Structures are given as structure tokens and as C-alpha cells.
Amino acid sequence: MNFFLIYDIINYYISIIPKKINYGENMPVQNDNPSTALTEILNTISHGSSFFLATVGFILLLIKGGSHHLLLEIFSYFIYSLSIIFIFLFSTLFHNTKQFKDSDALNIFNRSSIYLLLSGTATPFTLITIQGIQGISLFVIIWILAIIGIVIKAYSKQITHKNIIEIFLYTLIVLSYLSMIGMLHSRLHHFGIYLVLLGGFIYGSSAMAYRLKFNNCQAIGQSLSLLASIFIWFAIYLYV
């Protein structure tokens, strides 16, 4: 489960590294928007399939929650699924549609999606698996931190020492997740833990792929993100 935090940590620290890195003296830097037809096709397929599968997962989780007739369970699955759908939907629009890519609002959402991912994923674990005062408290804390992070991304130009504030915010989120992990250890089935561990490791790999400069790196990163989401979805669907 600790590896799930790798995505959070790596994605932030890599994001502050300059985007243009020369890996060789005479090696040209790959443009962020490759113009080859193959790359465009791969990007469209990876983003579109991610959104489609997220929608299917949303329906299946709602059916599961509805069969148990528990409002808290339905609410948790709804919040988690909606966060995943929004991430993949806006990622698809941002990377494949020029008019959306030029939108400041969509750009902000795309850059702050990590906060939505972390808070949305924590929702079913805190409210269903942990439950009680402990679960509700963690749910509230993580979501408050996530909302603060999104606000910081939205007004980053007006905020001084933004990097320091975000590092402090990420530290609080990591501590909250570590607390959640400790509570899940005795409450979540060990296969569920393994699935989330694997998903977290792949999320970390996707964060690295997004920042590297080689052909089709965006499509590879998106595919890894989708694979990680599938593992974590199965952990929630089968064991939460």
C-alpha cells in the first residue's frame, strides 16, 4: 500500500524539474505534442479507452452498492468513480482537443488531478473499510487537504512560495495516507492490499513515463495509469 504514495511524491518532485532535459549532447528534445499520426492514434485510443472503462467501472460499483442497500456505500463508490471518470474525461479532452488544451480552467484541472485521485481513492477505504469516527475523520482531512491543493493550483500565480506550501501539503497527505494504511492493515483482505500495492507501483511508473522525452511517452504513461486504476478498482470492488 505504501507504493500508492509513490505517484503522489514522484509526480510532484518530477513536475518541478525543467521539462526540457538533454539526455545527450546532440540529442534533440522531444516535443510535448508529437505530430506523428501513430502517436496521435495511440493517445486517442489510450485516453478514450480509459474514460470508457472508468464509466463501466462506475456502473458496476453502483450496482454493487445498490444491491447492499447502504447509502454510505453507494455514496463512497459514487465519489470514487466520479473522481476517476473526471480525471480520464478531462485528460482525454485536454490532450486530444486543441480548444480544450487552450483552456486555462481545464489546464488547472489537469494539473491538479492528483489531488482528486488521492481523495477520491481514499473515500471508499475510509468510509466503508475503516468506518466510524476514525474513517470519517480521515475522509474529511484528506478531502480538505485535496481541496486546498486544487485551490493552490488554481491561484498559483498569485501565491508566493507555492512550492514550499505544496511540499508541506503533500507531507500532510502522505501522513494521512500512512495513518489510513495502518488502519487498513487489519481490516482489508491481504489480496486487496496486494492489488493496491501493485496499482500504486504502476502509478509511480506512469508518473515517470509522462515526464520522459521519447516517442509515445504520453500514450505509455496513460496506459500505465489505466492499468494502475484497474488494479485499484478491483481491490475496491472485490474487497471493500
In a domain, 172, yes or no: yes
Q: What are phi and psi of 167, to 5 degrees?
A: -60, -45
- Residue 27 located in a structural domain: no
Over residues 156-174, the pLDDT tens digits come to 777 877 888 888 998 998 8
Q: Give the three-class secondary structure for 30.
A: coil
Q: Is residue 31 part of a domain?
A: no
Our count of domains for the chain comes to 1
> Is residue 197, in this structure, part of any structural domain at all?
yes
Give DSSP secondary structure letters for 47-116.
HHHHHHHHHHHHHHHHHHHHHHT-HHHHHHHHHHHHHHHHHHHHHHHHHH-HHHHT-HHHHHHHHTHHHH
pLDDT at residue 138 is higher than 90:
yes
Domain of 64, in residue numbers:
4-14+36-239
pLDDT for res 177: 87
Q: Tell whether 26 is covered by a domain.
A: no
Grid cell of 59 as nine digits: 456502473
Q: Is 20 inside a domain boundary?
A: no
Q: Is residue 226 part of a domain?
A: yes
- Residue at 25 is within a domain: no
pLDDT tens, position by position, 32-88: 444 456 666 666 677 778 889 999 999 999 999 999 889 999 999 999 999 999 888
Band of the pLDDT at 155, cuts 50, 70, 90? confident
pLDDT for residue 135: 96
pLDDT tens-digit series, residues 121-131: 999 999 999 99
Q: What pLDDT shows up at residue 33?
A: 47
CATH number of the domain at 69, please: 1.20.1070
pLDDT score for 37: 61
* 30: pLDDT strictly greater than 60: no
Percent of the chain with pLDDT over 90: 37
Q: Is the pLDDT of residue 13 over 50?
A: no
Rounded average pLDDT over 182-210 = 85
